[in-house]
Structure 1
Amino acid sequence: MPDEPCLQLLDLLERDQLAGHDFPGSGLTIRALVAVLAARQQTPPRLGNPRRCFFAVLEPFLIDEQLPRKWVGRIARTSLNHIWDWLCHDLAAAEMAAYQAEVVTALLDRDVARAHEQAAQLQKALLPAIRRAVASHDEAVLHRFSVLVGGQAVLEDLRDMMTVMEHRETLRALGERIRGPIRQLDEEEAAFILEALVPFARGDAMLLPYAVALVMGRLTHPWQILQVAVLAVESREALRLGQSSFRVVMELLLCELERLVVRAQAERRGRRTARLALAATDFAASVRAIVDHIAMGPEIGWMKRMGAARSRMAQVLRPELEELPGRVRRILRAPWYRELDGGGAFDAGEFAAIEAGLDLLVIAKDHAAELALNEATLRVISRLAAFLEASLRPLLDGLRGSVGDDRAFRLQQLEAAVRIARRVLGAEYATLLQKAVDVAAAEVRPLARAG
Structure 2
Amino acid sequence: MPDRHLLTAKIRSYLQALSPRAVQTLLRGLEGARARGSDDPHLDLILDACLSTVRPDTGIVLDAEPRENWLQRLFFAPVEDMLVTEMLPSKERGRITRSSLPQIWTWIARDIAPDRVSVALQISRRLETEPDEVIEQAVSLRRNVLAPMEQALAEAHADDRAHQKISMLVGGERALRDVEDLVAAFREGAWLEALRESLPQRLTEWDFKPGSPSLTRIKAVTDRHGEERALIAAVVLSRVEAPESMLSLAAALAGSMSIRKIAESSYSVFAEMALSEVERYAGIACGECTNLKLSGAIDAYTRIVKVLDRQFDLMEKPAWQKRVADTRRQLSALVARELEAATGSIRRLLVVPKVAPGVEPEVDVVLLEEAHRGIMLVNKMRDAAENLAVNEITARTRHALDQSLDIKTRSLLASLAAAREEDRKAHLLAVDIAIDLCEAFYGKDYADQLRRSRKAALTPKPKQEARQAAS
Q: Which TM-score band (shorter chain)?
A: 0.7 to 0.9
| Structure 2 counterpart of 1:315, from 312, 333, 337 | 333
**What is the alpha-carbon root mean square deviation over aligned residues?**
3.3
Displacement after TM superposition at 1:393 (Å): 4.6
Displacement after TM superposition at 1:214 (Å): 0.5
C-alpha separation between the residues in 1 aligned to 2:153 and 2:296? Answer: 40
Amino acid paired to 1:395: L
Give the corresponding residue for 1:230. 251
C-alpha separation between the residues in 1 aligned to 2:452 and 2:208? Answer: 50
Q: 1:312 to 1:296 in 2, by over 3 A?
A: same
Q: 1:431 to 1:120 in 2, by over 3 A?
A: closer
Q: Which moved more, 1:95-104 or 1:224-233?
A: 95-104
Give the corresponding residue for 1:172. 193
Gaps of 5+ in 1: 1-42
Displacement after TM superposition at 1:102 (Å): 4.4
Give the corresponding residue for 1:386. 403
Displacement after TM superposition at 1:300 (Å): 3.0
Q: Secondary structure at the match of 1:221?
A: coil
For 1:429-444, list aligned pairs within 5 A: 430=447
Retained in 2: the 8 A contact 1:226–1:293?
Answer: no
TM-score, normalised via structure 2 length: 0.75
Q: Secondary structure at the match of 1:325?
A: helix
Matched, 1:45 2:61: yes
For 1:165-244, list aligned pairs within 5 A: 165-182=186-203, 185=206, 191-202=212-223, 205-244=226-265
| Structure 1 counterpart of 2:430, from 413, 435, 442 | 413
Structure with larger Rg: 2
Q: Which moved more, 1:158-167 or 1:62-71?
A: 62-71
| Structure 1 counterpart of 2:150, from 119, 131, 135 | 131
Matched, 1:116 2:132: no
Give the corresponding residue for 2:163. 142
Q: Deviations over 1:254-300 (max 9, x none)?
A: 211222233233334xxx22222222222222222333443332653
Displacement after TM superposition at 1:314 (Å): 2.7
| Structure 1 counterpart of 2:354, from 332, 338, 342 | 338
Matched, 1:424 2:441: yes
Retained in 2: the 8 A contact 1:79–1:157?
Answer: yes
Amino acid paired to 2:390: L
Q: Which moved more, 1:70-79 or 1:422-431?
A: 422-431
Give the corresponding residue for 1:355. 372
Identity of aligned residues (%): 25
Q: Deviations over 1:219-254 (max 9, x none)?
A: 222222222222222322111111111211121112
C-alpha separation between the residues in 1 aligned to 2:429 and 2:273? Answer: 48
Q: 1:435 to 1:242 in 2, by over 3 A?
A: same
Give the corresponding residue for 1:68. 89
| Structure 1 counterpart of 2:320, from 280, 302, 305 | 302
Q: 1:76 to 1:446 in 2, by over 3 A?
A: same
Q: Secondary structure at the match of 1:207?
A: helix
Matched, 1:399 2:419: no
Q: 1:229 to 1:191 in 2, by over 3 A?
A: farther
Q: Which moved more, 1:241-250 or 1:225-234?
A: 225-234
Q: 1:399 to 1:96 in 2, by over 3 A?
A: closer
Amino acid paired to 2:189: R
Q: Secondary structure at the match of 2:158?
A: coil
Q: Which moved more, 1:396-405 or 1:82-91?
A: 396-405
C-alpha separation between the residues in 1 aligned to 2:87 and 2:128? Answer: 34
Displacement after TM superposition at 1:82 (Å): 1.5
Retained in 1: the 8 A contact 2:210–2:252?
Answer: no
Retained in 2: the 8 A contact 1:75–1:157?
Answer: yes
Retained in 2: the 8 A contact 1:72–1:160?
Answer: yes
Give the corresponding residue for 1:5. none
Displacement after TM superposition at 1:331 (Å): 1.5
Matched, 1:155 2:173: no
Q: 1:389 to 1:298 in 2, by over 3 A?
A: farther
Equivalenced residue count is 401
Retained in 1: the 8 A contact 2:308–2:314?
Answer: no
Amino acid paired to 1:321: L
Give the corresponding residue for 2:387. 370
Q: Secondary structure at the match of 1:197?
A: helix
Gaps of 5+ in 2: 1-58, 64-68
| Structure 2 counterpart of 1:247, from 256, 260, 268 | 268
C-alpha separation between the residues in 2 aligned to 1:341 and 1:79? Answer: 55
Displacement after TM superposition at 1:187 (Å): 5.4
Q: Which moved more, 1:49-58 or 1:410-419?
A: 410-419
